A and B are shown apart, each in its own frame.
Chain A
């Protein structure tokens, strides 16, 4: 009898063990609660507001003092860029370790998930969908989004209108108009703010320019690349000296895709804009003539041109590419030696940009609003960002003042002050053709066209492959 009881016990223990393991812990217990008493008192109002309409929420939350707010500020982003902006420029931010910081007595938790394979958005989506049920200190307070998928979040109730945070339109008057258009939802509510503007320029290699064209002055080079015909003619000269005009044809993609007249999707049907088709045709010609490669953006082959041996003449990109991506900190890179220069190139364009969104249900509204104000509206701080990080900030007077400042120069660009060029570009940016499908369409289009450029299939087959891949990602679309 005894044996039997024991065996039954053991068996049940085993089963219970397996079951328990399956159940898993749905609530991530990452952060030890600092003050359990305070936490319980906070939780109740936070949960309440989450269920109410946004309008009521503000009415209730507005008088709340900072002391009544959460003790943990959760920030979701995909790289170190925003973190370094906060660390260097937000007053009162102290770094604790790589993923933690402190503002006053609020603990800042950085949840950094890389963009690769959509990991950032997958993680963000799952957490946002659970936002309403999460404990107050686990709720996302701030998350960052990019232009390509901004509408995916802006169009939902998961983002808070900036007005509800108490930020008025007057405070935003100095920002570039397009940065507001991108994150404005269908009802006209502004749902995010950006500290940067992303007008793009053509960033060329000074040494190569001198060798091939006999001059490294932006004005002379601009004359050589004033339109796409001149671009191709100059590409030939470069090829004769062993240089690729751009690392990959994907480099010029944004220049075309930002000057489109129709969106990627019209009435649920995939649509090919004439200007995108022009990119395909021009790129095919470049590849066939051997003027440029077909590498994927961000691949090792693509970034070989950041070093002199890569033999790449130019990249197209905005300020963040110059400052953040071109290996400026690596010894031996062109950027490290200040060997790049900027010119407008054949056409103005915009690429990327990061917007700060407040997540609905945040328990740190005052702090979130203050971070947004300081980093996107405070002219002094924004001027500092330009000086320290060479970013192009979203503040017209600050940028115009800096553009006129003779003493300012970007070390990566060999001391050139390219801000005037960026300012002119930023005024012209129009972002009226964006859809929630842009990111998927852009990625799949570049992938699919690679086969066409390399001659493995004709355009129609490549286009069909693109449509197929897009429908896999967005099953509601047709083609």
Chain B
């Protein structure tokens, strides 16, 4: 019994490990093992042509060489980033504005709950369904074109899906609509966390609303902004469903809306685990670097 008594002190520490087991197991099975096997796979030639399996044969870094030499990687990274920025800039601006309005008690906004729900709603729709809807709306003979023609703005249907910037714009617009509600809620939570006495003090000192926003709200919001930015960036790099459905998997016109993950998806046709694995590893590294940059930029000026 003495042993058990002594063990009781230690066992409290053990509880922590017990509670960690589910997470660790899930993490290991769904994240760690796939990650390691992806890296492992990226060194092999391993694909299926028709019903014939080729490989796996160890080929070292050849998959990486292929990716770097054909130049596609760079242009798809650029596409992805362009579409992300196009969507993210309006998203963060609108969210900041809405967040500031919603969290400002002096405005006495009515029906706040209703509007908060409404702006969040687009996020509840499946991205693919949303994308399908836009595809139909903006088809050559779709409703948007009919409206534009009957209004006399265009004489012939504008081929939205055949122009580089209209497709990229639509992708960005969809991402914006889907995510600004979510961002607003996050920023609002951050703004509500700011001590109201700071605002009151500023008002007493005669600060304008703009000054309050730039001098108090924004600096104190930095941690939340940082979080929003990193998650959005990672989400942006993994952009897939919206452009995939909108362009029917082609990334057209001329692959100008092909994202990195869509490119990865292309290798699925031949079950090309080697090249796909190499691309995933690179994507992992790119995501890591981007996140580090944003993280560094946002923390370096903090005292």
> Closest CB of chain A to B259's CB: distance in Å?
15
Q: Are B254 and A296 in contact (CB under 8 A)?
A: no
How many angstroms from the CA of A454 to the CA of B162 in the assembled complex?
Answer: 7
Selected contact of A295 from candidates B51, B52, B140, B164, CB within 8 Å: B140
How many angstroms from the CA of A295 to the CA of B161 in the assembled complex?
Answer: 11
The 0/1 profile, CB within 8 Å of A marked 1, for residues 3-43 of chain B is 01000000100010010011001100100000000000000
How many angstroms from the CA of A456 to the CA of B250 in the assembled complex?
Answer: 15
Closest to B22 in A: A14
Instruction: List, in ascending order, chain B residues with CB within 8 A of A11's CB.
Output: 18, 21-22
Q: Are A476 and B54 in contact (CB under 8 A)?
A: yes
State whether the Cβ of A233 lies closer than 8 Å to any Cβ in chain B.
no
Q: Are A473 and B51 in contact (CB under 8 A)?
A: no
The 0/1 profile, CB within 8 Å of B marked 1, for residues 461-474 of chain A is 11001001100111
CB contacts under 8 Å to B, within A77-125, are 117-118, 125
The 0/1 profile, CB within 8 Å of B marked 1, for residues 229-252 of chain A is 000000000000000000000000
Given A14-B22, A296-B248, A468-B70: A456 in contact with B269 (beta carbons within 8 A): no
State whether the Cβ of A447 lies closer than 8 Å to any Cβ in chain B.
yes
Instruction: List, in ascending order, chain B residues with CB within 8 A of A475's CB.
Output: 47, 49, 54, 270, 272, 275
Closest to B272 in A: A475
Given A155-B50, A304-B141: A472 in contact with B269 (beta carbons within 8 A): yes
How many angstroms from the CA of A457 to the CA of B252 in the assembled complex?
Answer: 12
Closest to B72 in A: A468
State whether the Cβ of B190 lies closer than 8 Å to any Cβ in chain A.
no
Instruction: List, in ascending order, chain B residues with CB within 8 A of A295's CB.
Output: 140
Instruction: List, in ascending order, chain B residues with CB within 8 A of A14's CB.
Output: 21-22, 25
Q: Are B266 and A472 in contact (CB under 8 A)?
A: yes
Number of inter-chain CB pairs below 8 Å: 91
Given A436-B50, A472-B266: A117 in contact with B254 (beta carbons within 8 A): no
Instruction: List, in ascending order, chain A residues with CB within 8 A of B70's CB.
Output: 468
Instruction: List, in ascending order, chain A residues with CB within 8 A of B18's CB.
Output: 7-8, 11
Instruction: List, in ascending order, chain A residues with CB within 8 A of B162's CB.
Output: 294, 450, 454, 456
Instruction: List, in ascending order, chain A residues with CB within 8 A of B248's CB.
Output: 296
> Closest CB of chain A to B34's CB: distance in Å?
12
Selected contact of A301 from candidates B47, B48, B141, CB within 8 Å: B141
Selected contact of A153 from candidates B22, B51, B72, CB within 8 Å: B51
> Closest CB of chain B to A470's CB: distance in Å?
10
Given A15-B22, A155-B50, A300-B139: A1 in contact with B255 (beta carbons within 8 A): no
State whether the Cβ of A152 lies closer than 8 Å to any Cβ in chain B.
yes
Q: Are A118 and B269 in contact (CB under 8 A)?
A: yes
State whether the Cβ of A177 lies closer than 8 Å to any Cβ in chain B.
no
Instruction: List, in ascending order, chain B residues with CB within 8 A of A440's CB.
Output: 269
Q: Are A156 and B51 in contact (CB under 8 A)?
A: yes
Closest to B255 in A: A465
Given A18-B25, A152-B50, A473-B270: A456 in contact with B254 (beta carbons within 8 A): yes
State whether the Cβ of B215 lies closer than 8 Å to any Cβ in chain A.
no
Given A156-B50, A156-B51, A451-B254: A1 in contact with B4 (beta carbons within 8 A): yes
The 0/1 profile, CB within 8 Å of B marked 1, for residues 284-312 of chain A is 00000000011110001100100000000
Q: Are B51 and A300 in contact (CB under 8 A)?
A: no
CB contacts under 8 Å to A, within B140-175, are 140-141, 159, 162, 164
CB contacts under 8 Å to A, within B43-65, are 47-52, 54
Selected contact of A447 from candidates B47, B52, B252, B275, CB within 8 Å: B252
Closest to B70 in A: A468
Q: Are A18 and B51 in contact (CB under 8 A)?
A: no
Q: Are B253 and A451 in contact (CB under 8 A)?
A: yes
> Closest CB of chain B to A192's CB: distance in Å?
15
Instruction: List, in ascending order, chain B residues with CB within 8 A of A158's CB.
Output: 51
State whether the Cβ of B116 lies closer than 8 Å to any Cβ in chain A.
no
Given A454-B159, A472-B267, A475-B270: A128 in contact with B51 (beta carbons within 8 A): yes
State whether the Cβ of A22 lies closer than 8 Å to any Cβ in chain B.
yes
> Closest CB of chain B to A339's CB: distance in Å?
20
State whether the Cβ of B90 lies closer than 8 Å to any Cβ in chain A.
no
Instruction: List, in ascending order, chain A residues with CB within 8 A of B136's CB.
Output: 300
Closest to A304 in B: B141
Main secondary structure of the interface of A (DSSP, over half): helix
Instruction: List, in ascending order, chain A residues with CB within 8 A of B139's CB.
Output: 300-301
Instruction: List, in ascending order, chain A residues with CB within 8 A of B48's CB.
Output: 125
How many angstroms from the CA of A13 to the CA of B6 in the assembled complex?
Answer: 27
How many angstroms from the CA of A240 to the CA of B136 in the assembled complex?
Answer: 29
State whether the Cβ of A59 lies closer than 8 Å to any Cβ in chain B.
no
CB contacts under 8 Å to B, within A155-170, are 155-156, 158
CB contacts under 8 Å to A, within B219-270, are 248-250, 252-255, 266-267, 269-270
Instruction: List, in ascending order, chain A residues with CB within 8 A of B4's CB.
Output: 1
How many angstroms from the CA of A58 to the CA of B21 in the assembled complex?
Answer: 56
Q: Are B164 and A456 in contact (CB under 8 A)?
A: yes
How many angstroms from the CA of A304 to the CA of B139 in the assembled complex?
Answer: 12
State whether the Cβ of A37 lies closer than 8 Å to any Cβ in chain B.
no
Q: Are B26 and A18 in contact (CB under 8 A)?
A: yes
Closest to B51 in A: A156
How many angstroms from the CA of A462 to the CA of B11 in the assembled complex?
Answer: 68
Q: Are A4 and B11 in contact (CB under 8 A)?
A: yes
Q: Are B254 and A457 in contact (CB under 8 A)?
A: yes
State whether the Cβ of A186 lies closer than 8 Å to any Cβ in chain B.
no
Selected contact of B270 from candidates A7, A117, A451, A472, CB within 8 Å: A472
State whether the Cβ of A129 lies closer than 8 Å to any Cβ in chain B.
yes
> Closest CB of chain A to B111's CB: distance in Å?
39
Instruction: List, in ascending order, chain A residues with CB within 8 A of B54's CB.
Output: 475-476
Closest to B250 in A: A447
Closest to A444 in B: B250
Q: Are A22 and B21 in contact (CB under 8 A)?
A: no
Selected contact of B252 from candidates A152, A451, A474, CB within 8 Å: A451
Q: Are B22 and A300 in contact (CB under 8 A)?
A: no
Q: Are B253 and A454 in contact (CB under 8 A)?
A: yes
Instruction: List, in ascending order, chain B residues with CB within 8 A of A1's CB.
Output: 4
Instruction: List, in ascending order, chain B residues with CB within 8 A of A153's CB.
Output: 51
How many angstroms from the CA of A473 to the CA of B51 in the assembled complex?
Answer: 13
Taking A451-B252, A456-B164 as given, write out 18 further A-B residue pairs in contact, using a Cβ cutoff of 8 Å, ordered by the A residue number: A11-B22, A14-B21, A15-B22, A18-B25, A18-B26, A125-B51, A128-B51, A129-B51, A152-B51, A300-B136, A436-B49, A450-B253, A454-B253, A461-B254, A465-B254, A465-B255, A474-B49, A474-B270
Q: Which 8 A-B pairs have the closest CB atoms?
A: A152-B50, A472-B266, A451-B254, A473-B269, A156-B51, A454-B162, A301-B140, A456-B253
Some 17 contacts from A to B, beta carbons below 8 A apart, are A8-B18, A19-B25, A19-B29, A125-B48, A301-B141, A304-B141, A436-B49, A451-B254, A456-B164, A456-B253, A462-B254, A465-B255, A472-B270, A474-B49, A474-B270, A475-B275, A476-B54
Chain B residues proximal to chain A, CB less than 8 Å:
4, 11, 15, 18, 21-22, 25-26, 29, 47-52, 54, 70, 72, 136, 139-141, 159, 162, 164, 248-250, 252-255, 266-267, 269-270, 272, 275
